[in-house]
Amino acid sequence: MSSKLSGKVVLITGAARGIGAETARRVASRGARVSLVGMEPERLASLARELGPGHAHFECDVTDQRALERAVAGTKSALGGIDVVVANAGIANNGTVAVNSVEALARTIEVNLTGVIRTVSATLSEVTARRGYYLLVSSAAAIHALPGMSAYAASKIGVEHFGSSLRMELAHKGVGVGVAHPGWIDTDMVRDTKEDLPTFRELLRKLPGPFGKMTSVEICAEAFAEAIERRQRKLYVPGSLAIMAGLRTLLWTSAADWLFARDARKIVPNLEREVQAVGREFGRQSVAAVQRATNAQ
């Protein structure tokens, strides 16, 4: 079966594992040539071998503009240009503002939001030249935040609005911009949080509808690949999150705050105790990414 992605070059950040790695597999199966960008060179090289010939990989921290520019130049040299960018790289800090250092909070926003902005800036001339497409990865956290997710939610709603403005800026150039809102996807990052924080597991069980639903990484990546083919404007995984997005203003009322506040009296102190007991401000995979970035500086 022919695909609109056949022969297209797709650059994916955060491609070493999780949604990024599985999306790479899905678009490669549709005939795309993939540039794998991330901070785990061994995993990137292994994935490139798995995908077969015609792909490339580059070690890169998305908060490092020079590294991004090297990855873009390498992609152009190896694959001829860039048609699609999936700005997927992201981390999540554990816990509240009270128990996380300002460095952890700022790093989350730096990777998740500033990293997306830097990725777009580094690739824009190549994508514009091919009248290509961006898929920027936001989150269900942009629809409604939860205790312990202040920096993460801020970064993801920032991605959403950055993407909305970018779409208008690039429309006359024939460049498409989509924003993806995945919910809880069964990735290493989410599993780390569930393992570290029993209160998070309890909260998941109580969340209504799609906010409490866990989705496989395979289903998420398939939705990403289809959105790329269609140059989709908005993507929600699971799809029922679209309803919640439409009701977003109701989720931000004082009545909704009151309902969350009832449980927060118990949830927040428990969450803070658990974060302090773990002794890490990030899950195992996210903290590893932070440490790699620090060591590279």
The domains of the chain are located at: 9-296
H helical segments located in the chain: 18-29, 41-51, 65-79, 102-109, 115-129, 150-170, 188-196, 198-206, 217-230, 241-246, 248-251, 254-278, 284-296
- Residue environment code for 96-121, b if the CB has 16+ CB neighbours within 10 A, otherwise e: beebbeeebbebbbbbbbbbbbbbbe
The per-residue pLDDT for range 131-156, each reduced to its tens digit, is 999 999 999 999 988 888 999 999 99
What contacts 102, CB < 8 A, 6 or more positions away? none
What DSSP string describes 8-74? -EEEEESTTSHHHHHHHHHHHHTT-EEEEEES-HHHHHHHHHHH-SS-EEEE--TT-HHHHHHHHHH
Q: Provide the whole-model pTM.
A: 0.94
- Return the pLDDT at 206: 83
Write the pLDDT tens digit of every residue in 63-74: 999 999 999 999
Give pLDDT, residue 117: 98
Bridge-based pairing of strands 214-215 and 184-185 is parallel
Confirm or reject CATH 3.10.590.10 for domain 9-296, answering yes or no: no
Report the pLDDT value the prediction gives residue 145, as an integer from 0 to 100: 83
- What's the confidence (pLDDT) of residue 263? 75
Say if residues 185 and 237 touch (Cβ distance below 8 Å): yes
134 catalytic? Reply is no
Catalytic one among 133, 134, 152, 236? 152
Question: Are residues 9 and 81 in contact, defined by beta-carbon separation less than 8 angstroms?
Answer: yes
| Distance in angstroms (rounded) separating the CA atoms of residues 111 and 89 | 7
Residues of the chain with pLDDT under 70: 1-2, 252, 255-256, 258-259, 287-297
pLDDT tens-digit readout, 178-207: 999 999 999 988 998 888 889 888 888 888
